[in-house]
Structure 1
Amino acid sequence: MFKTIAAKAHETIVLADGTVPDPTRDAPAALTDKVDTVLGILAWAGTAAGVAGVLITGAMMAISMRRGEGSEHMGRLGMVLGGCVLVATAGPLITFVF
């Protein structure tokens, strides 16, 4: 038990001196290729959903302006554009972190 506590204390000291652990990647290549494919499809789907959301919101704004109604769609457009920014920056942000 004492050796376990000493080993944990040693790990804490090693991490406390500013070194960053660098784990090795040992996942099978076939699995990583499949995960990359799924993530790529999801990224394209998110981009397509963002474009569709902007188009639909723009069409709804045009119809409401023609009818003379208020412009309550600006909040919806802001949410759609915020989602587009989130989808567009998710991949590069994760790549930067890992």
Structure 2
Amino acid sequence: MFMERAHRFLADGTVPDPVRDAPPELTEKVDTVLGIVAWVGTAAGVAGVLITGAMMSMSLRRGEGSEHLGRLGMVLAGCVLVTSAGPLVSFVV
């Protein structure tokens, strides 16, 4: 049923305009939770980059080859997800 409605909107050239009828108390609580999660995610991302950098430097000092660059990529990808999650949820709510 959802796909039928989506095809109907695409077929006649109109774009659906949802009504924002969420209670203000709920939107304030969602904003508060998003702010806390954003700060925690940012702190975890910074800690992840620092820990990965420390592990890379210790491995380099020992002369060992390691896969820390892949870990750094995963940490940075997580930072991008945390950064983009807040604006996406704010747009939807």
Q: Same fold (TM over 0.5)?
A: yes
1:4 equivalent in structure 2: none
Q: Which has the larger radius of gyration?
A: 1
Please give the alpha-carbon distance, in whole angstroms, between the structure 2 residues aligned to 1:83 and 1:89. 10
Distance 1:76 1:67, change over 3 A: same
Give the number of aligned pairs.
88
Please give the alpha-carbon distance, in whole angstroms, between the structure 2 residues aligned to 1:81 and 1:30. 34
CA contact (8 A) 2:34 2:86 kept: no
Please give the alpha-carbon distance, in whole angstroms, between the structure 2 residues aligned to 1:61 and 1:30. 46
CA contact (8 A) 2:49 2:75 kept: yes
- The residue correspondences of 1:81-92 to structure 2 (distance < 5 A) are 81-92=76-87
Please give the alpha-carbon distance, in whole angstroms, between the structure 1 residues aligned to 2:91 and 2:30. 18
Q: 1:41 aligns with which of 36, 40, 47?
A: 36
Please give the alpha-carbon distance, in whole angstroms, between the structure 2 residues aligned to 1:65 and 1:43. 33
Please give the alpha-carbon distance, in whole angstroms, between the structure 2 residues aligned to 1:45 and 1:88. 11
Q: 2:14 aligns with which of 3, 12, 19?
A: 19
Runs of 4+ off more than 2 Å:
11-16, 89-92, 95-98
Gaps of 5+ in 2: none
Distance 1:12 1:51, change over 3 A: closer
Letter in 1 for 2:15: V
Q: Is residue 67 of structure 2 the alignment partner of residue 72 of structure 1?
A: yes
Gaps of 5+ in 1: 1-8
Structure 2 length as normaliser, TM-score? 0.78
Structure 1 length as normaliser, TM-score? 0.75
Distance 1:17 1:31, change over 3 A: same
Higher RCO (CA-CA < 8 Å; seq separation 6+) = 2
